[in-house]
Amino acid sequence: ETGVTQTPRHLVMGMTNKKSLKCEQHLGHNAMYWYKQSAKKPLELMFVYNFKEQTENNSVPSRFSPECPNSSHLFLHLHTLQPEDSALYLCASSLFGTVNTEAFFGQGTRLTVV
């Protein structure tokens, strides 16, 4: 248990569906991240939120829409996804502004787009 909780753990959705991934942290962190892990690829950074403000969007297609209502919660809204979007989506949090601190990851949501 890392203090970062992601739901659901597994999700199967059709290409026309709309779904949301949820991430919650109770570590007092002020930065949250979405990463994507595809087979045989590095963990890819998707979005960064510092103090609830989006500070980075790594050229992610608009079919992925993040939302950060407060420092403890992060959502990833999904719509009209493609089969190649099937991957493990990982949420992480950290204490931005603290020197040399690590990020803590949730267990991930395994997404399958059919």
Contact positions toward another protein, by CB under 8 A? 2, 4, 6, 33, 35, 40-43, 45, 48, 56, 90, 92, 96-108, 110
| Of residues 14 and 98, the one with the C-beta less far from another protein | 98
| Of residues 33 and 78, the one with the C-beta less far from another protein | 33
| Of residues 48 and 74, the one with the C-beta less far from another protein | 48
Contact between 106 and 23 (Cβ < 8 Å): yes
Q: How far apart are CA 74 and CA 92, in angstroms?
A: 10
Query: Shortest gap between Cβ of 67 and another protein (angstroms)?
Result: 18
Q: In the numeric block, which tokens belong to residue 17? A: 């569906």
Query: Shortest gap between Cβ of 7 and another protein (angstroms)?
Result: 13
CA distances from 33 to 15, 22, 65 (A): 24, 12, 13
| Of residues 13 and 43, the one with the C-beta less far from another protein | 43
